[in-house]
Amino acid sequence: MNHRFPHFASAASGDHFPHPALGVDYGQSRIGIAATDDFGIMAHPIETISLTTLNAIARIAELSRLRNIKTLVVGLPLRLDGSEGSSAKKVRAFAEKLADAIPTIPMIFVDETYTTSVATEKLREAGRKNHRQKDIIDQAAAVEILNGWMGETS
């Protein structure tokens, strides 16, 4: 296992303010991407990258460079008991490749439990007619990942 990033992020994992972070919601067929503002205060959706895209990692690296990202925040799907299953192993394998492509940007994991459900509900409550569109939900889940991390470290 590569030890360039911690097993699991917590409030004790360090402060992130005042710099930008990129949130990554790695799924079975898509990667939702969100970013904070330059001060690491507010998260907003960026885009969804298809896993069929050959250069998904290169695109994340490009977004990180363009936005001067200082921290990658990757959602880790944990079981309700806090243990890791096969989905978490897939996320960790992807994160290893991403860390190899962007070795200068620290990467942390945060529990992404319920982020997709929360994102879907918020879109529905906001009256978004397209709240069922998967690309938008993936981006909104990445926003929730960043919001959760910012809440833990503030």
Q: Is residue 98 part of a domain?
A: yes
Domain-located, residue 1: no
pLDDT at 120: 73
Could you report the per-residue pLDDT of 99-115, keeping only the tens digit for each? 999 999 999 999 987 77
Predicted model pTM: 0.82
Residue range(s) defining the domain that contains residue 147: 15-153
Q: Does residue 2 lie in a domain region?
A: no
Interval 77-101: pLDDT, tens: 998 898 999 999 999 999 999 999 9
Give Cβ neighbours of residue 7 (< 8 Å, ≥ 6 apart): 109
Q: Is the pLDDT of residue 1 over 90?
A: no
CATH code of the domain containing 61: 3.30.420.140
Q: What is the spatial distance between Cα 84 and Cα 80, in angstroms, rounded to a whole number?
A: 9
Domain count of the fold of the chain: 1
- Any domain includes 103: yes
N residues, the chain: 154
Note whether residue 133 is domain-resident: yes
